[in-house]
Structure 1
Amino acid sequence: MTNQPSPPHIFDRALLRRRLRRAIARGAPDFLVARAADDLLDRLLTVKREFPRSLDLGAPAEHFAQAIVASGRAAPLRASRDGGDVIADEEALPFAPASFDLVVCGMALQWVNDLPGVLAQVRRILAPDGLFLACLPGGASLVELRVALAQAEEEITGGASPRVSPFVDVRDMGGLLQRAGFALPVSDVDSFTLRYDSALGLMADLRAMGAANVLAKRASKPLRRDVLARAAQIYAERFSDPDGRVRASFEIVWISGWAPHESQQKPAKPGSATMRLEEAMKAGRHSSET
């Protein structure tokens, strides 16, 4: 019997839970979640399937469940750590295999410690030919804030501490989906820029959303006032527009995959083509000339 390695302890999920509950109770800004939910609706409208059994996993509010209903499907079962129909942790799903035809997960997977393990669990609870759709912040999100905080702390204290959580790289997601057993994996990115009066306004929004630093190995000391002031100054110097407002980059990475089924299109086997590339190019040129 071999011992399975424990998943890495990257995030303090108990702290995250407390912050998200407080943010929801105070009416957290929801513009990122609302944007993602609109995108989810557009994606679902392109899929001509009923999905009678669907799951909205980990969403802090009803935006994604509402998108499923707006697409013409039945309301999903909502499962999250902080409410819904079922109290469930994304890292320990309490559902039987093949329980759902559709699983959506909006803006929740960025804080799991074992993303490959979570994807494998989602694959397990999907019925054959079931669809998984998820989104999470991408690696270019808040790059300006990272730079400003690191430079300010380096200048004043002589060393930078982790102040912003890491995000996924879209280039890694297709491989993770395949590793988890999904067929036809796809990943893409929605990139956009928001503008604020200052870096302090951006950080206030992040705190209000419960999205402040929850790294398990985060700095033991809070951010000093002089470091914060210098970071805001660096941000304004390097990332402002002519009108004085500052830019904040965001990426929302979208991933999708299907539980394998015999009806799905299979990639052609190497060497199975009936026409050589040279012949195909000649045929195309001949067609265009006539």
Structure 2
Amino acid sequence: MNTSPPPLTDRTALALHRARASALFLHEEVVAEVQERLEEVNRTFTAPVVVTGFPSLWSNFPTIADDDTLALQPAAHDLVIHALALHWANDPVGQLVQCRRALQPDGLFLGLMFGGQTLHELRACLAEAEAELTGGLSPRVLPMGEIRDLGGLLGRAGFGLPVADSFTKTVLYTDALHLMRDLRAMGEGNALAARLRRPTRRSVLLRAAEIYHHRFATPNGRIPATFEIICLTGWAPHDSQQKPLRPGSAAARLADALNAAETPLSDQKG
């Protein structure tokens, strides 16, 4: 009996969407962000690899597809970059574990993905419009993790020195329909396995656009779309890395560091 959960993503639909993509400015933003972060690391990487759905943007790096099973060999790389594809993964933790195993000791992992604030305006307006006109909701947008939760995944996957941070890009559009067309041009159309297999009613889209404009329009009548990009950074464990202190081994007490007076438990009131 197969007890594995049903797949989140229809990989065939995703591949078709990506093949038609023509507006890759967010992926280009990620390429620039990765280059900047690598310069700050100040290390020469000799065996890098990039996991991506758009290999043409990474001409300076060897690339592999973001398949469920990554084409990675154990301890073969000193740098693994997962480039704006983790949000489509059926098993994000499994992807991180595979990347961790592919790293040499003290190798670096950089994973950039859309975070939970991405398209929060569009998601809210579509949900309201659909509930209002049809009395229900259909799967439209990927579940996207929050930065705290995603940072915790690094530790679960076995990375040392895990860090999660994010940056936000706001893009202005003439209206919500323009935004939806641009999402398709990005290759980010609905590829959920549980999606409706018929076109969304035009009345729902027009009502969502109306709500979007009423709630979010700028003074000049354009509407903002938020894209949150979370960057996960982790290192394959190595003896040279800084280790967390053992409990009770701190050289100074917290109260001393904060210059605060301690109150005995017996003096505290419930």
Once the 2 structures are TM-superposed, how far is the Cα of residue 163 of structure 1 from its aligned partner?
A: 1.7
Q: Which residue of 1 aligns with 2:15?
A: 17
Identity %: 48
Q: How many residues align?
A: 259
**Partner secondary structure for residue 162 of structure 1:** coil
How far, CA to CA, are the matches of 1:280 and 1:169 in structure 2? Answer: 31
How far, CA to CA, are the matches of 1:4 and 1:255 in structure 2? Answer: 32
Q: Which residue of 2 aligns with 1:40?
A: 34
How far, CA to CA, are the matches of 1:275 and 1:140 in structure 2? Answer: 39
1:235 aligns to 2:212 (yes or no) = yes
Cα RMSD after superposing both structures: 1.8
TM-score under structure 2 normalisation?
0.90
Q: Which residue of 2 aligns with 1:76?
A: 61
**Structure 1 counterpart of 2:161, one-letter code:** L
**Partner secondary structure for residue 234 of structure 2:** strand
Do the aligned residues in 2 keep the contact of 1:128 with 1:261 (CA within 8 Å)?
A: yes
How far, CA to CA, are the matches of 1:242 and 1:207 in structure 2? Answer: 27
1:95 aligns to 2:72 (yes or no) = yes
How far, CA to CA, are the matches of 1:236 and 1:140 in structure 2? Answer: 19
TM-score under structure 1 normalisation?
0.84
Counterparts in 2 of 1:281 and 1:12: CA distance versus 1, 3 Å? closer
**Partner secondary structure for residue 50 of structure 1:** coil
Task: Say which of 224, 227, 252 aligns to 2:201.
Answer: 224
Do the aligned residues in 1 keep the contact of 2:151 with 2:162 (CA within 8 Å)?
A: yes
Q: Which residue of 1 aligns with 2:228?
A: 251
**Structure 2 counterpart of 1:125, one-letter code:** A
Do the aligned residues in 1 keep the contact of 2:78 with 2:106 (CA within 8 Å)?
A: yes
How far, CA to CA, are the matches of 2:132 and 2:63 in structure 1? Answer: 46
Do the aligned residues in 2 keep the contact of 1:239 with 1:247 (CA within 8 Å)?
A: yes
Q: Which residue of 2 aligns with 1:151?
A: 128
Do the aligned residues in 2 keep the contact of 1:182 with 1:257 (CA within 8 Å)?
A: yes
Once the 2 structures are TM-superposed, how far is the Cα of residue 240 of structure 1 from its aligned partner?
A: 0.2
How far, CA to CA, are the matches of 1:248 and 1:170 in structure 2? Answer: 19
Do the aligned residues in 2 keep the contact of 1:7 with 1:113 (CA within 8 Å)?
A: no
Greater RCO, CA 8 A, separation 6+: 2
**Structure 2 counterpart of 1:11, one-letter code:** T
How far, CA to CA, are the matches of 1:14 and 1:256 in structure 2? Answer: 30
1:136 aligns to 2:130 (yes or no) = no
Do the aligned residues in 2 keep the contact of 1:10 with 1:216 (CA within 8 Å)?
A: yes
How far, CA to CA, are the matches of 1:4 and 1:267 in structure 2? Answer: 41
**Partner secondary structure for residue 140 of structure 2:** coil
**Partner secondary structure for residue 91 of structure 1:** coil
Do the aligned residues in 1 keep the contact of 2:168 with 2:226 (CA within 8 Å)?
A: yes
4+ residue stretches of structure 1 with deviation over 4 A?
278-282
Do the aligned residues in 2 keep the contact of 1:144 with 1:249 (CA within 8 Å)?
A: yes
Q: Which residue of 1 aligns with 2:148?
A: 171
How far, CA to CA, are the matches of 1:97 and 1:185 in structure 2? Answer: 20
**Partner secondary structure for residue 41 of structure 2:** coil
Gap regions ≥5 residues in structure 1: 67-74, 81-88, 283-290
How far, CA to CA, are the matches of 2:34 and 2:179 in structure 1? Answer: 25
Q: Which residue of 2 aligns with 1:125?
A: 102
